[in-house]
Amino acid sequence: MALAEAGTRGRLLLWPRVVLFGDSITEFSFQENGWGSSLAERLVRKCDVVNRGVSGYNTRWAKLILPRLITRSTSAESTVAVTIFFGANDSALKDLNPKQHVPLEEYSANLKSMIQYLKSVDITEDRIILITPPPLQESAWEKECLAKGDKLNRHNATTGEYAQACVQVARDCGTDVLDLWTMMQKDEDFSSYLSDGLHLSTKGNSFLAAQLWSRLEKKLSALPSLLPYWRDVDHTNPEASLL
Kindly list the catalytic residues: 24, 196, 199
Question: How does DSSP classify residue 151?
Answer: -
Radius of gyration for the chain, computed over Cα atoms and rounded to the nearest angstrom: 20
> Strand runs (DSSP E) across the chain, as ranges?
17-22, 48-53, 79-85, 128-131, 176-178
Residue 152 to residue 150: CA distance in whole angstroms? 7
Within 8 A by CB and 6+ apart from 26, the residues are 20, 36, 51, 52, 53, 54, 83, 85
Main-chain dihedrals φ then ψ at residue 48, nearest 5 degrees: -85, 140
Within 8 A by CB and 6+ apart from 218, the residues are none
Residue 217 to residue 64: CA distance in whole angstroms? 30
Within 8 A by CB and 6+ apart from 146, the residues are none
Q: Exposure of 69 by Cβ count < 10 A (0-12 exposed, 13-18 middle, 19+ buried)?
A: middle
